[in-house]
């Protein structure tokens, strides 16, 4: 009842935003309404997580007359409902303040509630029809917000690429569900679960699902739209697209591969794990070289999706091999990382939004020194950056550690591909984690530390009340999810039990705060103890410094932080900080080349230092594809200018060909 | 008369229609094409009448009468009159040489036999072979439409295709009369339209070669 009324209120809010969008207060009311609806849906999700209540299902007479719309909430949907609506609630609160300064807000506010509605409906769908319609609705409503600032050429391009990739995704998912429904055409998930797909059908369903949901989630090389589209939307929408919508895509993947498909061989898991590893490393390599703060965060999303997919692939491989306990472990780790990423990526995007609304800039080159001017945003962003860099005791560490622990069990599988592949993926994961830390040291350091690099950055003011608190709430959640890992894994255990058959089992139970998935002596972690220990050490250190240290006054030159000249140009720039990595990794992968142009003797022009880079995915995959399509279109176009006899001939040849096919088929 | 004899006669007439189809492809003069077409329509009328006799289906006599009146008499005379009236070049202009057209025609007949005989294994022997013949006639009609440049010969190809359809219709038992009548009238309407069209083309281009039409299309950018 609560859920239904919350869902119904969202389109009404959208309608209200359209009708009364002229007044400023409308936008605040709509976002406040979205917040209330998200909290209600969060509460609804919480009720159904953990099997306290039986999973409800509703059948509504919507859609096509002979297909009723089926909805249901099981543990998996409930978990993702929590993720979605947590992010949605934070983004809504943030947007109350943020949208006041947004010039295109009348083109954004009406679609925001619709976007929330679509994502929630995807999670509650219990038949393919509702799922696909909501999925497409989710793509379109977010697309409208991506192109809301359509005066910018780059945003229009981002919108076009997004639309094409979204269409590609749905184009893949449509036949996947069609194959699962079979010729009888029973589109309910319950019927798909018991259907035997056969060898070829099973193969096609798995491939199409990975392509379709993977393109939405941002798996390399289908990620091309993501770093374009996510930054193009207003920041509160970017936060939802990056933090939350990618999770809906992963939900689709889990739902089909682990729930509906039901008979996936371990090969798919191994392949998915490898793709995840490549995605993680590529994503973070892109991220570390970006100058645009939001683009950096978007590429970092690609990386984190890769990490979550490593866990998912591993779970599928273990399940396909019959090792359900390990499958449960890997799946819990993967889901844990999705939860964490939805929290800290939403936080970081909101932080980026705060920086943009305070300074008007997204480029790292002109930011700097913002921590002094914006202490709230700076502190919250720091927590998010530390969490995404997987620093203990924050939440990012726990999930990446769990994924790594489950990877260590991978070589125990009786397949040589896994024995050799898993260590490679583990190395990828470690590399990605290390590079992510570098990436966020750079992002945070250049943005918030040092001296301002522009007048706008020097005069920035911290953001308004609601925006601060939405970020602070998410930052606290980053800490909480990190220090009570066992509580989280216990909750996730309810989710994985229906998918793998068993819950999350610890090998040696060391009691509540200890997480020991593998062995009590070799792999045990407690965020709670670590946090308490760290805080005590911190308190002791403060006590020692303040009480036992000397109180005498000391006069000396202040430390000048390495640049005695008080000019911002002497600091690290975003480019110079990334240069070592660009030289080490970018030279081969991105074909990064540096070129110094010295002026002629006597010429007064400054010397220039140019860097050229090539995106291998664009130049290696998408551009040839575009050229190929252009070539085909050019040649097919000639068919439009045939002679009368030419058209007759075409029909005649088609007829003869069809007859030949029939004749040959009869002979067989 | 035995059943076998009935079938043999039916197949003989059907084969005559098919042979006339090949004859259409072979002719090099427009008037000869028209005469051959009249002969084919005559054979078709005979086929319909014979089917009416052996199937005891009196309405097929009506079909035979339509074929005789319209296709064997009215259409060839009208085309004859048009050709004379318009002073059209009397040779057949081919897009594919006569020899090659014949070879392709033989291949098409082989295809239709190969196709129809296994598909209709359950039907009676009469229907099976007649259908194969009818389908060959249809395909030959289409072949004529695409390998001849002149508009008159294209129209004749279209009419020959119709002949094939009617042959198929009379061979299968139980085809309602209304279908045949509507086919016959649609042919007449098409004939009228083609006639008007010929005058218009002729007025504009002094030729009936359809290639002249192509430069006058609006969609070429």
Q: So what's the pLDDT on residue B147?
A: 86
pLDDT exceeds 80 at position B187: no
Q: So what's the pLDDT on residue B221?
A: 43
With bands split at pLDDT 50, 70 and 90, how would you rate the model's confidence at A177? very high
CB contact under 8 A, A663 and B115: yes
In this structure, what are the phi and psi dihedrals at residue A597, rounded to the nearest 5 degrees? -110, 115
pLDDT over 90 percentage in chain A? 51
Dihedral sign of CA atoms A177, A178, A182, A187 in order: positive
With bands split at pLDDT 50, 70 and 90, how would you rate the model's confidence at B207? low
Q: Is A662 on the interface with B (CB under 8 A)?
A: yes
What's the maximum distance between 2 C-alpha atoms anywhere in chain A?
Answer: 104
pLDDT exceeds 60 at position B218: no
CB contact under 8 A, A652 and B95: no
CA A630 to chain B, closest CA, distance in angstroms equals 18
* Nearest-CB residue to A649 (from B115, B146, B213): B146
* Nearest-CB residue to B118 (from A651, A659, A666): A666
Q: Is B106 on the interface with A (CB under 8 A)?
A: no
**Cβ distance A82 to A45 under 8 Å?**
yes
**Cβ distance A69 to A189 under 8 Å?**
no
In this structure, what are the phi and psi dihedrals at residue A609, rounded to the nearest 5 degrees? -125, 110
Q: Which residue intervals of B67-220 are DSSP H helices?
A: 75-86, 98-119, 125-147, 151-171, 177-205
Angstrom CA distances, A475 to A342, A399, A480, A482, stand at: 12, 17, 9, 11
The contacts found for B151-154 with CB under 8 angstroms, 24 or more apart, are B151/B194, B151/B197, B151/B198, B151/B201, B151/B208, B151/B209, B151/B210, B152/B30, B152/B33, B152/B79, B152/B82, B152/B83, B152/B88, B152/B198, B152/B208, B153/B30, B153/B33, B153/B92, B153/B93, B154/B210
Interface probe for A, chosen from B115, B116, B148, B157 (most Cβ of A below 10 Å), is B115
Q: So what's the pLDDT on residue B61?
A: 87
Q: So what's the pLDDT on residue A448?
A: 93
Residue of B nearest to A648 (CA): B146
Average pLDDT over residues B37-52: 91
Average pLDDT over residues B61-79: 85
Angstrom CA distances, A357 to A88, A122, A362, stand at: 20, 32, 10
Average pLDDT over residues B52-67: 84
**A236-252 pLDDT tens trace:** 999 999 999 999 999 99
Q: So what's the pLDDT on residue A346?
A: 95
pLDDT exceeds 80 at position A20: yes
Q: So what's the pLDDT on residue B205?
A: 66
CA B56 to chain A, closest CA, distance in angstroms equals 33
Domain range list for chain A: 267-518, 616-667
Average pLDDT over residues A10-21: 90
Angstrom CA distances, B16 to A105, A302, B23, B40, B43, stand at: 79, 73, 10, 8, 7
Average pLDDT over residues A333-352: 95
Q: Give A648's contacts in chain B (Cβ within 8 Å).
A: 142, 145-146
Model pTM greater than 0.90? no
Residue B6 CA to residue B55 CA, distance in Å, equals 10
Average pLDDT over residues A329-347: 94
Average pLDDT over residues A533-559: 85
CB contact under 8 A, B139 and A640: no
CB contact under 8 A, A644 and B112: no
CB contact under 8 A, B210 and A644: yes
**Cβ distance B177 to B183 under 8 Å?**
no
Interface probe for A, chosen from B120, B131, B142 (most Cβ of A below 10 Å), is B142
- Provide the token pair at B213: 């039409």
**A55-92 pLDDT tens trace:** 678 888 877 777 788 898 888 999 999 999 999 999 99
With bands split at pLDDT 50, 70 and 90, how would you rate the model's confidence at A623? very high
Average pLDDT over residues A257-264: 84
Q: So what's the pLDDT on residue A337?
A: 95
Q: For chain B, how are helix, strand and coil distributed in percent, rounded to 5?
A: 80, 5, 15
Residue A375 CA to residue A609 CA, distance in Å, equals 35
Q: So what's the pLDDT on residue B194?
A: 75
Side-chain half-sphere of B158: how many Cα atoms within 13 Å? 18
DSSP string, A390-415: T-TTSHHHHHHHHHHHHHHTGGGSS-
**Cβ distance B184 to B162 under 8 Å?**
no
pLDDT exceeds 90 at position A396: yes
From first CA to last CA, the distance across chain A in angstroms is: 60
CB contact under 8 A, A656 and B211: no
**A365-389 pLDDT tens trace:** 899 889 999 999 999 999 999 999 9
Residue A233 CA to residue A210 CA, distance in Å, equals 26
Q: So what's the pLDDT on residue A506?
A: 62
Residue of A nearest to B212 (CA): A643
Alpha-carbon dihedral A424, A429, A430, A433, rounded to 10 degrees: 160
What's the maximum distance between 2 C-alpha atoms anywhere in chain B?
Answer: 66
User: Exposure of B190 by Cβ count < 10 A (0-12 exposed, 13-18 middle, 19+ buried)?
Assistant: middle
Q: Give B108's contacts in chain A (Cβ within 8 Å).
A: 656
How does B118-157 read in b/e, with b if 16+ C-beta sit within 10 Å? eebeeeeebbbbbbbbbbbbbbbbbbbbbbbbbbbbbbbb
Q: So what's the pLDDT on residue B145?
A: 85
Q: So what's the pLDDT on residue A146?
A: 93
With bands split at pLDDT 50, 70 and 90, how would you rate the model's confidence at A185? confident
B122 versus A257: the higher-pLDDT residue is A257
pLDDT exceeds 80 at position B202: no
Neighbours of A583 (CB within 10 A): 11
CB contact under 8 A, A662 and B119: yes
Residue B90 CA to residue B153 CA, distance in Å, equals 11
pLDDT exceeds 60 at position B219: no
Residue A313 CA to residue A206 CA, distance in Å, equals 12
- Provide the token pair at B51: 């089917």
Q: So what's the pLDDT on residue A51?
A: 63
Strand partners, A127: A188
Q: Give A654's contacts in chain B (Cβ within 8 Å).
A: none
CB contact under 8 A, B119 and A645: no
With bands split at pLDDT 50, 70 and 90, how would you rate the model's confidence at B220? very low
From first CA to last CA, the distance across chain B in angstroms is: 66
Length of chain A: 668
**Which residues are within 8 A (CB) of A540 and not within 5 positions of it... i.e. 6 or more apart?**
none
- Under DSSP, the state recorded for A518 is S
**B4-23 pLDDT tens trace:** 888 888 889 989 999 999 99
Q: So what's the pLDDT on residue A120?
A: 94
**Cβ distance B149 to B95 under 8 Å?**
yes
CB contact under 8 A, B149 and A640: no
**Which residues are within 8 A (CB) of B32 and not within 5 positions of it... i.e. 6 or more apart?**
none
In this structure, what are the phi and psi dihedrals at residue A73, rounded to the nearest 5 degrees? -125, 110
Neighbours of A431 (CB within 10 A): 16
**Which residues are within 8 A (CB) of B162 and not within 5 positions of it... i.e. 6 or more apart?**
B71, B141, B183, B187
CB contact under 8 A, B95 and A645: yes
Q: Give A655's contacts in chain B (Cβ within 8 Å).
A: 139, 142
Q: Is B96 on the interface with A (CB under 8 A)?
A: no
With bands split at pLDDT 50, 70 and 90, how would you rate the model's confidence at A50? low
Instruction: Name the A residues in 618-657 with CB < 8 Å from any B CB.
Output: 640-641, 643-645, 648-649, 651-652, 655-656
Q: So what's the pLDDT on residue A509?
A: 62
Residue A492 CA to residue A137 CA, distance in Å, equals 29
Residue of B nearest to A663 (CA): B115
Residue A407 CA to residue A418 CA, distance in Å, equals 10
CA B146 to chain A, closest CA, distance in angstroms equals 5
Residue of B nearest to A666 (CA): B118
CB contact under 8 A, B211 and A663: no
Peptide bond into A623 cis (omega under 30): no
Q: Give A652's contacts in chain B (Cβ within 8 Å).
A: 142-143, 145-146
**B96-152 pLDDT tens trace:** 888 888 999 999 999 888 888 777 777 676 677 888 888 899 999 989 888 887 778
Residue A652 CA to residue A663 CA, distance in Å, equals 16
CA A661 to chain B, closest CA, distance in angstroms equals 10
Strand partners, A70: A59
Dihedral sign of CA atoms A314, A317, A319, A325 in order: negative
**A430-489 pLDDT tens trace:** 999 999 999 999 999 999 988 888 888 888 888 888 899 999 999 999 999 998 888 888
With bands split at pLDDT 50, 70 and 90, how would you rate the model's confidence at A200? confident
**Cβ distance A266 to A215 under 8 Å?**
no
Residue listed under structure tokens 């430390």: A559
Q: So what's the pLDDT on residue B175?
A: 65
pLDDT exceeds 80 at position B50: yes
Q: Is A665 on the interface with B (CB under 8 A)?
A: no
pLDDT exceeds 70 at position A52: no
CB contact under 8 A, B111 and A660: yes
**Cβ distance A515 to A392 under 8 Å?**
no
* Nearest-CB residue to B146 (from A648, A659, A666): A648
CB contact under 8 A, B219 and A655: no
**Cβ distance A230 to A298 under 8 Å?**
yes
CA A659 to chain B, closest CA, distance in angstroms equals 7
Least confident among A22-26, A138-142, A205-209, B90-94 = B90-94
């Amino acid at each position: 009842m609560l859920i239904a009324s919350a869902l119904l209120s969202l389109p009404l809010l959208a309608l209200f935003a359209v009708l009364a969008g002229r007044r400023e207060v409308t936008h605040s009311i709509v976002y406040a309404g979205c917040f209330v609806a998200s909290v209600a849906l969060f509460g609804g999700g919480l009720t159904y997580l953990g099997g306290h209540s039986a999973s409800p299902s509703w059948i509504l007479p919507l859609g096509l007359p002979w297909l009723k719309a089926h909805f249901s909430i099981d543990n998996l949907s409930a978990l993702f409902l929590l993720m979605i609506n947590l992010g949605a609630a934070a983004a809504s609160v943030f947007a109350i303040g943020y949208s006041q300064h947004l010039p295109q807000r009348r083109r954004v506010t009406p679609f925001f509630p619709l976007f929330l509605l679509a994502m929630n409906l995807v999670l509650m769908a219990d038949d393919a029809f509702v799922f696909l319609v909501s999925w497409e609705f989710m793509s379109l409503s977010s697309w409208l917000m991506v192109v809301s600032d359509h005066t910018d050429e780059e945003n229009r391009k981002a919108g076009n690429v997004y639309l094409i990739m979204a269409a590609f995704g749905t184009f893949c998912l449509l036949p996947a569900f069609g194959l699962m429904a079979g010729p009888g055409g029973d589109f309910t998930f319950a019927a798909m679960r018991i259907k035997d797909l056969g060898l070829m059908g099973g193969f096609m369903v798995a491939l199409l699902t990975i392509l379709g949901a993977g393109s939405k989630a941002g798996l390399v090389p289908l990620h091309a739209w993501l770093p374009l589209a996510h930054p193009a939307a207003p920041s509160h929408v970017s936060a939802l697209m990056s933090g939350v919508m990618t999770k809906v895509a992963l939900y689709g993947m889990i739902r089909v591969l682990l729930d509906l498909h039901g008979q996936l061989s371990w090969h798919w898991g191994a392949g998915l794990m490898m793709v995840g590893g490549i995605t993680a490393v590529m994503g973070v390599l892109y991220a570390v070289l970006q100058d645009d703060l939001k683009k950096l965060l978007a590429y970092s999303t690609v990386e984190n999706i890769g990490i979550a997919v490593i866990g998912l692939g591993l779970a599928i491989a273990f399940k396909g091999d019959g090792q359900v306990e390990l499958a449960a472990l890997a799946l819990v780790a993967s889901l844990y990382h999705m939860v964490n990423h939805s929290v800290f990526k939403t936080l970081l995007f909101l932080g980026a939004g705060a920086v943009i609304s305070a300074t008007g800039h997204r480029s790292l080159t002109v930011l700097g020194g913002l921590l002094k001017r914006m202490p709230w945003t700076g502190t919250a962003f720091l927590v998010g950056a530390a969490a995404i860099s997987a620093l203990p005791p924050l939440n990012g560490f726990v999930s990446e550690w769990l994924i790594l622990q489950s990877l260590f069990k991978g070589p125990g599988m009786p397949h040589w591909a896994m024995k050799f592949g898993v260590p490679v993926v583990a190395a990828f994961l470690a590399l990605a984690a290390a590079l992510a830390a570098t990436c966020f040291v750079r992002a945070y350091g250049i943005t918030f530390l040092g001296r301002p690099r522009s007048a706008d950055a020097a005069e920035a003011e911290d953001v308004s009340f609601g925006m601060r608190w939405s970020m602070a709430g998410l930052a606290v959640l980053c800490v909480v999810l990190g220090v009570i890992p066992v509580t989280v894994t216990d909750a996730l255990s309810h989710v994985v039990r229906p998918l793998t058959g068993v819950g999350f089992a610890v090998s040696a139970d060391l009691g509540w705060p200890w997480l020991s998935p593998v062995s009590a002596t070799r792999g045990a972690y407690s965020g709670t103890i670590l946090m308490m220990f760290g805080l005590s050490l911190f308190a002791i250190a403060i006590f020692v410094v303040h009480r036992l240290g000397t109180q005498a006054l000391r006069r000396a030159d202040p430390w000048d932080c390495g640049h005695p000249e008080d000019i911002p140009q002497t600091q690290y720039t975003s480019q110079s900080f990334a240069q070592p990595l660009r030289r080490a990794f970018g030279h081969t992968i991105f074909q990064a080349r540096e070129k110094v142009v010295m002026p002629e003797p006597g010429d007064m022009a400054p010397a220039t230092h140019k860097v050229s880079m090539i995106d291998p995915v664009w130049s290696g995959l998408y551009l040839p594809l575009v050229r190929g399509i252009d070539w085909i279109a050019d040649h097919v176009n000639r068919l439009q200018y045939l002679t009368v006899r030419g058209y007759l001939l075409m029909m005649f040849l088609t007829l003869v060909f069809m007859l030949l096919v029939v004749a040959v088929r009869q002979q067989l | 008369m035995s059943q076998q004899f009935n079938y043999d006669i039916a197949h003989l007439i059907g084969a005559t229609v098919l042979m006339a189809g090949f004859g259409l492809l072979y002719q090099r003069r427009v008037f000869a094409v028209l005469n051959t077409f009249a002969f084919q329509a005559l054979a078709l009328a005979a086929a319909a009448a014979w089917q009416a006799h052996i199937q005891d289906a009196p309405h097929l006599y009506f079909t035979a009468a339509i074929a005789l009146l319209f296709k064997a008499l009215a259409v060839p005379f009208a085309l004859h009159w048009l050709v004379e009236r318009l002073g059209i070049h009397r040779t057949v202009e081919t897009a594919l040489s006569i020899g090659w057209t014949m070879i392709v025609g033989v291949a098409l007949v082989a295809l239709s036999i190969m196709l129809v005989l296994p598909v209709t294994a359950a039907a009676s022997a009469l229907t099976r072979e007649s259908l194969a013949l009818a389908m060959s006639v249809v395909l030959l009609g289409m072949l004529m439409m695409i390998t001849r440049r002149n508009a008159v010969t294209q129209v004749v190809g279209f009419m020959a295709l119709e002949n094939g359809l009617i042959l198929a219709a009379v061979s299968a038992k139980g085809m309602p009369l209304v279908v045949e009548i509507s086919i016959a009238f649609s042919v007449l309407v098409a004939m009228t339209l083609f006639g008007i069209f010929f005058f218009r083309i002729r007025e504009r281009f002094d030729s009936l070669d359809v290639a002249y039409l192509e430069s006058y299309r609006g969609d070429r950018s």
